[in-house]
Amino acid sequence: MGKADRISGIFWFIFSVYVTIESYRLGLGSLRKPGPGFFFFWTGILLAIMSLTVILRSWREKKSAGEKEPFFGKLNLTKIVLVMISLFLYALFMEKLGFLPVTLLLFVFLLGIIEKKRWSLTLLVSLAVTAISYLIFEILLKSQLPKGLLEFLRF
């Protein structure tokens, strides 16, 4: 895990430096009366030391063995990214548009475009899932899903 460890080690090192500085600004207080930043200042320093160890270890491992590792399966990376984006869009628009339209759109997207299923099947399943999940969570479990565009339904 040479290269991967170096990348992740550097990431956590930067994170820990950031946390340490922020905690310092929050106020360390004293040992008698530790302030709000005290605990995280020291946790940040510990994390920094550990991430440096991981980085150093990765250098040493690199010298001993120049290994190559298969990392991200190239084939499906676009698929994963597309699914991630669709989920974020779902979260961002669920309150504006409401549960019913976004859920329908999400399923049409996932089944029709990502999984490339037949359109008749996609539409049928998406409609069914949307309706059934609405019945279960909104009507039966009273989850108070966002109404959005369909606000007028609330009376």
3-state secondary structure labels for all residues of the chain:
CHHHHHHHHHHHHHHHHHHHHHHHHHCCECCCCECCCHHHHHHHHHHHHHHHHHHHHHHHHHHHCCCCCCCCCHHHHHHHHHHHHHHHHHHHHHHHHCHHHHHHHHHHHHHHHHCCCCHHHHHHHHHHHHHHHHHHHHHHCCCCCCCHHHHHHCC
Number of residues lying near other proteins (CB under 8 A): 65
* Distance in Å, CB of 114 to other proteins, minimum: 8
Between 5 and 155, name the residue whose CB sits nearer to other proteins: 5
The interface with other proteins within residues 13-42 (CB under 8 A) comprises: 15-16, 19, 22, 26-27, 30-40
Which residue from 62, 101, 137, 148 is in contact with other proteins, where contact means CB under 8 A?
137
Query: Residue 10 interacts with other proteins (CB under 8 A)?
Result: no
**Residues 68-87 as x/- pattern, contact with other proteins by CB under 8 A:** ---xxx-xxx-xx--xx--x
Can you tell me the distance from the alpha carbon of 22 to that of 31, in angstroms, rounded to the nearest whole number?
19
Encoding tokens for residue 107?
């399923």
Which residue from 21, 59, 67, 95 is in contact with other proteins, where contact means CB under 8 A?
95
- Residue owning tokens 């999940």: 133
Binding interface with other proteins (CB under 8 A) = 1, 4-5, 7-8, 12, 15-16, 19, 22, 26-27, 30-40, 43-44, 46-47, 50-51, 53-54, 71-73, 75-77, 79-80, 83-84, 87-88, 90-92, 94-95, 103, 106-107, 110-111, 115, 117, 125, 129, 133, 137, 141-146
